[in-house]
Chains A and B, each alone.
Chain A
Amino acid sequence: GESVGLHLPTLSVQEGDNSIINCAYSNSASDYFIWYKQESGKGPQFIIDIRSNMDKRQGQRVTVLLNKTVKHLSLQIAATQPGDSAVYFCAETQGGSQGNLIFGKGTKLSVKP
């Protein structure tokens, strides 16, 4: 079936380094994507989104890249900090901003001091 998945279940980086978290999606009809961050014991928190008519979007210290050719989404975190340690999920939807989200398996990011 159609699903959103992540390439790596865990990622460990040194504080100050850049982090790249990847996500592969299988439904070419998906047109809206979101990255969420979930800290232990909390609900997911929105980080950044991107529509399928874009290939890059930047936020504060975060950048999302979308490659529709290979159906790949990535989240780049610049100068990773200990507070970035969390599980990161990508989510996709069809029907633009009104569709229900389909979440992928998370990637656990650990930041070493």
Chain B
Amino acid sequence: EADIYQTPRYLVIGTGKKITLECSQTMGHDKMYWYQQDPGMELHLIHYSYGVNSTEKGDLSSESTVSRIRTEHFPLTLESARPSHTSQYLCASVEGGRGRNNEQFFGPGTRLTVL
């Protein structure tokens, strides 16, 4: 089983609040990702990182920001949450490196509800 963790698992907050979703992995993976997923729908990439001090925006526009100060930690922050941010947020990591497969290990997700 993959060693990638997300907290909190569930979060209900009011509009305008600042929140940070935590993601940590203990596998020493370089590449990490954040996806947004509505129930039963496909995953949309919102942020990714190649390693420490690297952050990139994904295919889906997002008002969130990320940071990568340590290899194992890739938090996602929403400065001012809105109801449109209600969704499930999935974090993933992959070993990366030339010749290695692209098997992404996923965390259990954070289900966010903004009232």
Q: Residues on A close to B: CB < 8 A?
A: 32, 34, 41-46, 49, 87, 89, 93, 96-106, 108
Contact = CB atoms under 8 A, between A and B. Distances in A.
A62 to B, nearest CB: 14
Report, as a range, how many residues of chain B touch the other chain: 20 to 34
Contacts of B35: 103
16 contacts: A32-B102, A34-B102, A42-B109, A43-B90, A43-B109, A44-B90, A44-B106, A46-B105, A49-B103, A87-B40, A89-B42, A97-B102, A98-B96, A101-B45, A102-B45, A103-B42
Contacts of A99: 102
Contact of B108 (A42, A46, A93, A103): A42
Contacts, number: 59
Instruction: Give the 10 A-B residue pairs with the shortest CB-CB distance, closest first.
Output: A43-B106, A97-B102, A103-B43, A103-B42, A46-B103, A105-B42, A44-B106, A97-B101, A43-B109, A43-B108
B interface majority secondary structure: loop
B12 interface: no
